[in-house]
Amino acid sequence: MYQEDSDKTDPRPTGFINSFVKCLESVVNKDETHTTHDMSFSSIALATWLTEQISAEHCEFTPLSFKVNSDGWSNLLIDINHCWMLRLSRYVTDVQRQLPPPRFELENRLISALTDAGMDSALLPQSSLFNPALQSLADTAHQSAIPERAIAMLYPKITGRHPTNEDFSGSSLNELAHGVALFLAKLHSLPLASVAQNAVSDSATSELSSYPYGDEFFLNDILPSTLKYLSPRGKHAAYTYFEDACNQFELHSTVPKVICHGDLGLGNLLVNPEGTLAGVLDFSDICIGDPAMDFAPLWRRAPQHFVENILHHYRTLLPTGQWQKSQPQSLTERICFQTLRKAAFVVWYAEQYGFKEGMTASLNYLTQHFD
């Protein structure tokens, strides 16, 4: 949901601070379950930091506008003056939901590693991070609750639009597929040590893990949220499928794990007017896992020939030997598994954190598959 808040009367930093705080309060207070008094940081400290970042780039504060997208389950996304994007973690604005904490520092290290590996930096968010514990202007009333981590990410807006059906049939289809494949080849080739500062493990408490949301016990913890919505026949079919697939593709998989984006759907890709890749967004679901995971969102949402085109380029762009190590003979089956697993995860997450209104599409997808 979008909300526009504009103020053209005072272009100075003071006007920016006041307008931003007003905008943030109006968004947070719309949720009847909490107010800005529940936020675990000072909105004034954040607004002050924003003015410092924007001023450092010698950018103007006029016209002054904020466009807020509050549909995301992890972050509020705020477009500032159509020039800057602010991702503000709902971990600190929706504290009563007890959402998982953000990992903006990890995202930034991944983006730096991709750039060092030769990825065009213009395609990636070049971010500054706001950590309220490091701000001397932090409101003393919030001191005891201030999280010792970055809670917001600011980056220059990447110009582009999300892909549409026209992009999958036009003359730029091959070039777009090549751009996505190049990104995935670079990402899946990164050494784990180039991103993770702490030990890598399968624990959700590890900085870079296979299951950053604690969903490793899929059959016992995650799948039941879906099963209760299925018919008896659907329940049996779903449990039988996932029991076999989890055993084959997770518990006893020999596919080398790689760093994955975790949510590489159409909503996190941008294309330019010519239909070629303009940007890759939102690395909040970064994890280590089967490379098939990063093809799953497009497998579900984009035409099959587009995904096949991506795979064609991906195979040629990987370092020598990595394609065969990824066990391509089972890749399609694993992509299907990751697609269905992610849909069941969405249903569980929606119920776990109070976003049930957003699970309909995933539940319908699972119902159509198993019922």
In the chain, what are the domain boundaries? 2-156, 165-370
pLDDT reading at 147 higher than 80: no
Q: Rounded mean pLDDT of 82-97?
A: 93
Q: Rounded mean pLDDT of 151-176?
A: 94
* Mean pLDDT for all residues in the chain: 89
Tell me, what amino acid is at 344?
A
Q: Rounded mean pLDDT of 239-268?
A: 97
Q: How far is CA 65 from the centre of its chain?
A: 25
The region of weakest confidence among 58-72, 85-99, 179-193 is 58-72
pLDDT reading at 315 higher than 70: yes
Rg (CA), the chain: 21
165-370 to CATH, choices 3.40.50.12280, 3.30.930.10, 3.90.1200.10, 1.10.275.10 = 3.90.1200.10
pLDDT of residue 25: 85
Q: Which CATH class is domain 2-156?
A: alpha beta
Q: Rounded mean pLDDT of 226-231?
A: 98
Cis peptide before 273 (omega within 30 of 0): no
SS3 breakdown of the chain: % helix, strand, coil, rounded to 5? 50, 10, 35
pLDDT of residue 204: 47
> Which of 245 and 10 is assigned the larger pLDDT?
245
pLDDT of residue 170: 81
pLDDT reading at 28 higher than 90: no
> Would you say 79 and 156 are in contact if contact means Cβ atoms under 8 Å apart?
no
pLDDT of residue 146: 52
Spatial strand order of the sheet with 152-156 comes to 2-6, 65-69, 75-80, 84-89, 152-156, 128-130
The region of weakest confidence among 7-16, 143-152, 192-201, 266-275 is 7-16
